Structure 1
């Protein structure tokens, strides 16, 4: 029993006794248990909430996204359900909207909103950057595209948040592999630069591998932008690999703008300026480059 289960069902089946249920398991929600010491993830919390509903609810929002395999969802976030009746409960956010039949799907035995409906709901929530982060992760997990969500906008014309949703859908990119990569991309776009391509493949001999991937960039000009988490600086093996990888990319004509947490969070204008300078060196003649570089000097 490494997945959530209903205590009454386990007792009825003789799988556990009342004593073992009390001693070896802990309640996530009323009558829903996990083994003590289990790591509670967003996905297991979502399943536990669905069981709590008597298998009558529909996973929604972040819980639906977690069921589809979206990453970067905090397990401490409340579970979310569409449920027409029943009282609220701590740790579960209840939505009471009506769902069309084609807006739900069975995922690993659990009913959840479809990827399209999940994107429709998450993309309307306040906080543009956070919404793009959520939809990037959902798109990577499910392959859902903006064009798949547009029919729901037509179906629900009066709901709140549609202006943001349209913008978020236009910005969503399944190539982002972390929230920091999403935020890095948005900084470039918000500065006025063309939208960068994500997950650029560069053929070559990269420590025995036939290619390398660059987080994002402008392939026509061989300018890449990479977000580097802490492991790139603290893990010796990762650090050594990065040194060799960047050397090989340089021999193939690439300029890589490397971005860390400090640059992204405190000095994003520096990241933008470095990217613009690299593009200028490589022959890009976009008017936005002159403007940004001129403003930097001023």
Structure 2
């Protein structure tokens, strides 16, 4: 019969340093290798029956592994604010002052940088970077989509707001990362309720679609019908992300009943799953584009479809894809200018034209390239109808 591992009462249910336990004679090096103890970091152990939370891991890092003046940062700090917790295998981000030295440690992702006193706060007994500095670091360390995902979660919990983040970035203009933060803030939205919804929205916008509304409420004569994850209300097109909680039979029944009511209200609802976002995003993007274009060709659904992340009304020298130019020009006016907007070249149903500034009005001209460009305003060579635009 195998011998039961030794568990001293002083160490049960606790996180401790292995070297201290050995020096006090509570354990031996062989005891630390037994199944009774689980290593967390270098020389940091926990009892195997103890449920180690993210807060406990960060507290151990701040207490034993990082020098004074350093703080928990990045995704680890965002999780302490209530954002989704990183996986247990993910390293803990720490921000260390430039004049401090720390060797590489398994389980830690060490970042060196300037640490101002106002950038560090105490959260749950742990020194962490403040919400604004956390967003700054995320914009520098992560790719754009993943940075916006975490910033959305911080905005949703009202730990900061868009105007504060913009002021924080502009106050540090010229420093590394200020432009990255501004770009991430421009794409952020406090209405996102899950990381996958944020990823879907940001990827659609970066692919060139107009920015959708989040958590759009659909009502029929004052009665609640549904709340949509992402929606373009002017065209009655919506995107719903189906997560794991949709596997519940009752939830599936409610979703399908809600979908039937939306379809009765002439809504186009497209569903996407995590697997399709990973493996077939281009196909899903094509479906969303087709739905928006179908609605834009209707006389009561005028629409301008933009590419390369463009949105809003025309600016001088800009080129767009324009569906039903006559309808768009007749129904849209610029709020900042008194001049009239009109488009020619889209007289027939579904015709396309490029719009550009001519004098005091916006006019259309067929045959030009349909891509927005600011730097080069010279016309490109005419192309044959039906051929795709060059990249």
TM above 0.5, yes or no, is yes
SS at match of 1:173: coil
Q: Determine if the alignment matches structure 1 residue 202 to structure 2 residue 227.
A: no
State the partner residue of 1:62. Answer: 75
Q: Determine if the alignment matches structure 1 residue 227 to structure 2 residue 237.
A: no
Q: How does 1:153-232 map to 2 (within 5 A)?
A: 153-203=169-219, 212-229=226-243, 232=246
CA distance in 2, matches of 1:2, 1:189: 51
CA distance in 1, matches of 2:37, 2:27: 10
Greater shift, 279-288 or 1-10, is seen at: 1-10
CA distance in 2, matches of 1:44, 1:280: 57
Q: How does 1:1-298 map to 2 (within 5 A)?
A: 5-7=15-17, 18=27, 24-36=36-48, 42-53=54-65, 56=68, 57-71=70-84, 73-83=86-96, 84-203=100-219, 212-229=226-243, 232=246, 234-260=247-273, 261-262=275-276, 265-267=281-283, 268-278=285-295, 280-281=297-298, 283-288=300-305, 291=322
SS at match of 2:45: strand
Q: 1:274/1:61 Cα in 2 relative to 1: closer, same or farther (>3 Å)?
A: same
SS at match of 2:305: helix
CA distance in 1, matches of 2:206, 2:62: 39
Q: 1:240/1:3 Cα in 2 relative to 1: closer, same or farther (>3 Å)?
A: farther
Unaligned runs of 5+ residues in structure 2 are 1-10, 307-320, 324-349, 353-369, 371-385
Contact 1:255/1:278, CA 8 A, preserved across alignment: no
Point out the structure with max Rg over C-alpha. 2
CA distance in 1, matches of 2:296, 2:244: 27
Contact 1:217/1:224, CA 8 A, preserved across alignment: yes
Contact 1:60/1:113, CA 8 A, preserved across alignment: yes
SS at match of 1:124: helix
SS at match of 1:77: coil
SS at match of 1:121: helix
CA distance in 1, matches of 2:60, 2:298: 55
CA distance in 1, matches of 2:250, 2:62: 42
Greater shift, 39-48 or 122-131, is seen at: 39-48
Contact 1:259/1:271, CA 8 A, preserved across alignment: no
CA distance in 1, matches of 2:197, 2:14: 33
Q: 1:279/1:158 Cα in 2 relative to 1: closer, same or farther (>3 Å)?
A: same
Following superposition, the deviation at residue 25 of structure 1 comes to 3.3
| More RCO (CA 8 Å, sep 6+) | 1
Q: 1:235/1:87 Cα in 2 relative to 1: closer, same or farther (>3 Å)?
A: same
Following superposition, the deviation at residue 108 of structure 1 comes to 1.0
SS at match of 1:102: helix
**TM-score of the pair, normalised by structure 2:** 0.62
SS at match of 2:140: coil
CA distance in 1, matches of 2:89, 2:123: 22
Q: 1:166/1:54 Cα in 2 relative to 1: closer, same or farther (>3 Å)?
A: closer
Q: 1:116/1:157 Cα in 2 relative to 1: closer, same or farther (>3 Å)?
A: same
**Matched residue pairs, number?**
290
Following superposition, the deviation at residue 53 of structure 1 comes to 3.0
Contact 1:26/1:33, CA 8 A, preserved across alignment: yes
Contact 1:65/1:118, CA 8 A, preserved across alignment: yes
**TM-score of the pair, normalised by structure 1:** 0.79
Contact 1:82/1:94, CA 8 A, preserved across alignment: yes
Following superposition, the deviation at residue 3 of structure 1 comes to 8.5
As a proportion of its length, which structure holds more helix? Answer: 1
Q: Which string of whole-angstrom CA distances, capped at 9 and with x for unpartnered residues, describes residues 115-147 of structure 1?
A: 110001101235222222232233234542232
